Amino acid sequence: MRTRLVLFDIDGTLIRTGGAGVKAFAQTAEHLFGCPGGTERLRFHGRTDLSLIREFFRLHALPDSPVEVERFLTAYLHFLDEQLGRNRGEICPGVDSLIRALRQIPDPPKIGLLTGNVRLGAHLKLRAHGLADEFEFGAFGDDHENRNELARLALAKARQKWPGSGQGSEVLVVGDTPADIECARAIEAHCLAVATGGSALAELLEHSPTLAVETLEDLAVEQLLDPGVKADRITDWESLYQAGDTRWDKGEAAPGLIDFLARHTGVQGQTVLVPGCGRGHDARAWARAGAEVVACDLSPRAIEQAQSYPVEGGSIVFETRDFLSKSTQSRQFDWVFEHTLFCAIAPSQRAEYVSAIKDVLGPGGRFLAIHYLQPQDLNGPPFGVTVKELRRWFESDFELVDHWLPRSFPGRVGRERMFLWRRAR
């Protein structure tokens, strides 16, 4: 079902304030209520402002009344404004491009806020990062102290504003903590969990969100519009091969690979895996250099066509299989070469991709890749990637031997970068 409404959490999801909110809470506790360090025991992640204030009152046996809450909030907002001016903070990675991409969709989903911040606090935080005008409505921490109730309220507000705006399953909650996942579940909405805030990806996954990503950069807009869809089925590669709609296939091996093999003559007799091989042009270039090649692709039609070309030099075994599926990896290779796979899979599958590459390369094994770089285009494939992101993905298990600008097909000149990694021992 298509997403009609996207509800964003603020802290750790859209922006990181460098702790401005936590510091403003502490200042209020100290200067207004005479409790220095009085908020140190509070756990802030995923909480609503109101629930934090009430917990603070309880911990210090202070009277809890609407007047006292109001007094707290007035001082808090003053300190928050001051802290936001002092702390630089940042927009979380991928937020700008995601919002831009959402706006470009024909009949785009409505975008709102579902946040534990009180309305004015939310405004101050978003204004500090130029995001204050991006959201059409919201449910805020002064509407209710329970986040699940806030989710119900956000949904009710949306339905009132746009009658027929949807069932829970047409709603996507985007947040950075288990509390965000839980409140999505409370309204039977989908949840996209992002690990840019209070929780690591592994912790978020334990709470079974619909989707979970390290950063919002690791996301395709199609997934946001249909979060239930299997990411690798965003593109039906088999249908494209059957229809002959294979514009990415230039009918020959990548120029960057040809040049590399001309320079590196030592691959004779070595084993090479070429995942996402398509019609096998790159695999045949490795075979011509004398390598023993296994090449695989998801599409049976692509493999059938790959097998119809003559092979010179070494050998090639073509296989129809999903490189990302753990159950199909059965051996290790000296080399993995890739050209059009990393950019073709959904960015949220990149963790699986890195894990699959690790599985098929023993210590010292080499991973040679031609990556499609900027512009980052969430409406891929191809999905771009930056050198910084590539380093983040591979650096812990691979040593970067070299990277360079390769010779490219016309139309891709300057947009590709070639990387040679060695699997760490």
Smallest gap from Cβ 175 to Mg ion, in A, equals 6
Contact between 9 and Mg ion (CB under 5 A)? yes
Contact in structure between 402 and 264 (CB atoms under 8 Å): no
Contact between 11 and Mg ion (CB under 5 A)? yes
Contact between 12 and Mg ion (CB under 5 A)? yes
Smallest gap from Cβ 414 to Mg ion, in A, equals 38
Smallest gap from Cβ 206 to Mg ion, in A, equals 17
Q: Could you count the other beta carbons within 10 Å of the beta carbon of residue 164?
A: 8
Smallest gap from Cβ 47 to Mg ion, in A, equals 9
Smallest gap from Cβ 13 to Mg ion, in A, equals 5
Residues 6 or more apart whose Cβ sits within 8 Å of residue 168: 155, 187, 188, 189
Contact between 416 and Mg ion (CB under 5 A)? no
* CA–CA gap between residue 188 and residue 209 (Å, rounded): 11
Burial (Cβ within 10 Å: 0-12, 13-18, ≥19) of residue 245: exposed
* CA–CA gap between residue 2 and residue 323 (Å, rounded): 28
What residue number has its CB nearest to Mg ion? Answer: 12
Smallest gap from Cβ 297 to Mg ion, in A, equals 40
* CA–CA gap between residue 319 and residue 81 (Å, rounded): 60
Q: How far is CA 181 from CA 14, 91, 157, 231, 349, in A?
A: 16, 21, 20, 20, 20
* CA–CA gap between residue 274 and residue 278 (Å, rounded): 9
Smallest gap from Cβ 135 to Mg ion, in A, equals 15
**109 vs 197, which CB is nearer to Mg ion?**
197
**176 vs 292, which CB is nearer to Mg ion?**
176
Query: Binders of Mg ion: how many residues, by CB under 5 A?
Result: 5
Contacts with Mg ion in 171-210 (CB under 5 A)?
A: 176, 197
| Binding window for Mg ion (CB under 5 A); candidates: 4-12, 14-22, 332-340, 392-400 | 4-12
* CA–CA gap between residue 265 and residue 15 (Å, rounded): 50
Contact between 222 and Mg ion (CB under 5 A)? no
Contact between 49 and Mg ion (CB under 5 A)? no
Contact between 121 and Mg ion (CB under 5 A)? no
Contact between 218 and Mg ion (CB under 5 A)? no
**17 vs 271, which CB is nearer to Mg ion?**
17
| Binding window for Mg ion (CB under 5 A); candidates: 10-18, 134-142, 199-207, 295-303 | 10-18
**13 vs 299, which CB is nearer to Mg ion?**
13
Contact in structure between 17 and 81 (CB atoms under 8 Å): no
| Binding window for Mg ion (CB under 5 A); candidates: 170-178, 225-233, 283-291, 346-354 | 170-178
**Residues of the shown chain interacting with Mg ion in the complex, contacts defined by CB under 5 A:** 9, 11-12, 176, 197
